[in-house]
Amino acid sequence: MEFCADPSVLGDVEWWLCYLTTPKQISFYESFGTVLLLLVLAAPLILLLGIAGALARSSRAAPLRWIGNIYTSMVRGVPDIVFFLFVPIALDQTFEYIRHRALCPDVTAPVRQGADFVVCAAAKLPLSTAPQSVHDIYGFLLALVAFTIVFGAFAANIIHGGLAAVPRGQLEAGEAIGMSRSQVFRRIHLPQMWRFALPGLSNLWMILIKATPLLFLLGVEDVVYWAKELGGAKTSRYAFPHGDWRLGYFIALLIFYLLLTWLSERGFRRLNRRYAAGFST
């Protein structure tokens, strides 16, 4: 805004109006969108991976069953943050290694040289000439994949339990009228699974919400990044000098998350009631 050009002469109300609409503040508001976008994109992917994992676990093919078992039990003993740190780097290096092999076949030097990971310039992901936005999107996608893999394992655990809780008689009835295995699964087993898995899945959703600040560790400019950035003390060299306001910014984040989990809880309570309809228990 025009009158924001010289903040030092502004009155209190105008100062705050100007301060809260600086480009960096706008980036802070947008980062809430980043968090919500991650939640919205991750949830369906997690469900799909969860169903796949649960299916693999009860598969008749032994190798598939082992994969399913290893995958679903991976969250049990190890903190999720270890996976969050590991998966993005591992994926990044894998992609770069594959591209290195494909794009620069004439480079024969090993990729790992002592303490370095060297790929040719053309194999870098994203390319060093790419605009900043590409780097941001790539970082976000890596984070999304990490979230999907970690929480997919949780979801697979829950869905496996839900599938096991569907009464056998329901499935036998399907078989009795001549449904194929896949028909029984699609029309009877899966639709009834939700009722049993919903409490666990709502729990998982809460966990997912509360894991989103970890985006900060993955290098995504999320709410935590901007809260630290904007809340730090600003000297008179800046247009809007202020003291250390990080406490205030983090209280705002706390309220945002409390609101998010509170609304989710209410939503799930209603959903639960709907799914419980028609069940005698």
Partner 1 sequence: MNCLDALSAYGLRSLGIGERLLPRGDIGICEQLVLIGSGMVWNIYFTAVAMAFGFGLATLVALGKASRNPLVSGPSKAFIFIFRGSPLFIQFFLFYEAFVLIPKFAGEIDLGFVVIGIDTAWFTRAWLGALIVLILNTSAYTAEIFHGALVNVPKGEIEAADAIGMTGGQKFRRIVWPTMLRIAWPAYTNEAIFMGHATALVFFSSFPAWRQEGDALYYASYFAERTFNPFVAYPIVAGYFVLFTLFIITVFGAANRRLNRHLAPGSVKRVKFRPQFIR
Contact set with partner 1 (CB under 8 A)? 75-82, 85-86, 89-90, 93, 112, 114-117, 154, 157, 200, 203, 207, 209-214, 216-217, 224, 227-228, 231, 244, 246-247, 250-251, 253-254, 257-258, 261-262
Q: CB 57 → partner 1: shortest distance, Å?
A: 15
Question: Element (H or E) spanning 67, and its range?
Answer: helix 62-77
Q: Which of 37/90 has CB closer to partner 1?
A: 90
Q: Which of 95/185 has CB closer to partner 1?
A: 95
Q: CB 192 → partner 1: shortest distance, Å?
A: 21
Q: Which of 99/185 has CB closer to partner 1?
A: 99
Exposure b/e, 243-274, CB count within 10 A at least 16 = b:
eebeeebeeebeeebeebeeebeeebeeeeee
**Count of alpha carbons within 13 Å of 96, Cβ hemisphere only?**
20
Q: CB 9 → partner 1: shortest distance, Å?
A: 28
Tell me how far apart the alpha carbons of residues 256 and 251 are, in angstroms, rounded to a whole number: 9
Q: Which of 183/272 has CB closer to partner 1?
A: 272
Rounded to 10 degrees, what is the CA torsion of 275, 147, 76, 57? 60
Longest dimension (CA), the chain: 82
Q: CB 79 → partner 1: shortest distance, Å?
A: 4
Q: Which of 130/251 has CB closer to partner 1?
A: 251
Query: Of the candidates 53, 46, 90, which has an alpha carbon nearest to the alpha carbon of residue 73?
Result: 53
What is the number of helices (H) and of strands (E) in the chain? 10, 2
Q: CB 14 → partner 1: shortest distance, Å?
A: 28
